[in-house]
Amino acid sequence: MQLTLGPLLYYWPKQEVLDFYAQAADWTLASIYLGEVVCARRHELRTADWLALGTELAQSGKQVIYSSQAVLESGSDLSSLRKLAQAGGLLEANDLGAIRIAREAGIAYVAGPHLNIYNGPALDWHANAGATRWVAPLEASAKTVAAILAEKTLTIETEIFAHGRLPLAFSARCFTARHFDLSKDACEFKCIEHADGMLLKTREGQDFLRINGIQTQSAACHALINDVPQLRNIDYLRISPQAGYTAEIIATYDSQINTQQYTANWTQINPEGLVNGYWHGQAGIHSTPEVLT
């Protein structure tokens, strides 16, 4: 079992992104996913910048995988993705159109977490179409993933989203722009002021969701740290980047994988709260307290 770094879901200034990945080059990671998954208007790093960053990280021994946007709409969305695909390597497809682009470029793909693979025949379809790895749907439980793996007939690597704020929904509407009474086309790039998105609470103050441009995330972090010993059928655990503590979180998972124990102050590095309901077959917001402490 190895760790991967999921695509950066937030909009950070270019230098912060470059600094973050310069550190990531030294983290214990098998793969790093690069690219803009959320919003085509985000341009601190353009396609050429992501490709240059990918080349650097590959030289440091990391497997680099470029991720597609989860909602591909415009002609320029598609042409940017074609450029990433033409660079070779692996493409994480988060949209059916991305699979077609990967095939045209003659490259293999990772079937991303938003492709809705819930059964063995669907997974086999992807393996046949050129997928070498799949990421289980975020809402899939341990039991569901085991059932899908039992049902599939072809060889494919399995990755799960193990730690981070869950990217629950994508829209055409930008909720960050809406908050500031701006239109999406004139959003003033407000996302850049919110390195971890904006917290959305219920009217009685419960932390519930997190708005991040056109994406809606969980307010809390999904965390499978205490499930690691049971994850023998999983090849890769994805850690999702966040503004603080990503290095510590990766080190904690690495320690848990290799020594079956960890000593970091777990709650201190996860101040937004932890949930693990999805993996245990419950509502995603549910947390099992005894396995999170």
Partner 1 sequence: MSAATLPELICPAGSLPALKAAVDHGADAVYLGFKNATNARNFAGLNFTDAQIRSGIDYAQSRGREVLVAINTYAQAGRVKEWHAAIDAAADAGANAVILADLGLLDYAMRVHPQLNRHLSVQGSATNFEAVNLAQDYFGIRRAVLPRVLTLPQVEFVIKNTTVEIEVFGFGSLCVMAEGRCILSSYATGESPNTHGVCSPASHVQWLPQGNTMDTRLNGILIDHFEAGEPAGYPTLCKGRFEVNDATYYALEEPTSLNALSVLPELLRIGVRAIKVEGRQRSPAYTAEVTKTLRAALDAAADARYTVKPAWQQTLSKVSEGHQQTLGAYSRPWR
Contacts of 260 (CB under 8 A, 6+ apart): 228, 229
Of 15, 26, 48, 204, which one interacts with partner 1 (CB under 8 A)? 204
Q: Rank residues 202 and 263 by Cβ distance to partner 1 and give the closer one.
A: 202
Cα–Cα dist 138/238, whole Å: 11
Of the candidates 184, 209, 164, 176, the residue with the CA atom closest to the CA atom of residue 40: 184
Whether residue 279 contacts residue 141, with contact meaning beta carbons closer than 8 Å, is answered with yes
Q: Rank residues 26 and 185 by Cβ distance to partner 1 and give the closer one.
A: 185
Binding mask 33-72 for partner 1 (x = CB under 8 A): -------------------------------------xxx
Q: Rank residues 3 and 211 by Cβ distance to partner 1 and give the closer one.
A: 211
* Amino acid code (one letter) for 19: D
What is the footprint of partner 1 within residues 107-166 (CB under 8 A)? Answer: 114, 116, 118-126, 129, 137-139, 144, 147-148, 150-151, 166
Within 10 angstroms of residue 282's Cβ, the number of other Cβ atoms is: 14
CB of 132 to partner 1, least distance (A): 17
Binding mask 73-112 for partner 1 (x = CB under 8 A): xxx-xx----------------xxxxxxx-----------
| 146, 151, 131, 241: CA torsion to nearest 10 | -20
Helix or strand run (H / E) with residue 134: strand 131-135
Residue 193 sits in the site that holds partner 1 (CB under 8 A)? no
Q: Rank residues 62 and 210 by Cβ distance to partner 1 and give the closer one.
A: 210
Whether residue 271 contacts residue 279, with contact meaning beta carbons closer than 8 Å, is answered with no
Of the candidates 84, 110, 95, the residue with the CA atom closest to the CA atom of residue 30: 110
Look up tokens 């979180």; give the residue.
Answer: 249
Q: Rank residues 53 and 145 by Cβ distance to partner 1 and give the closer one.
A: 145
Residue 209 sits in the site that holds partner 1 (CB under 8 A)? yes
What is the footprint of partner 1 within residues 171-190 (CB under 8 A)? Answer: 171-175, 178-179, 183-185
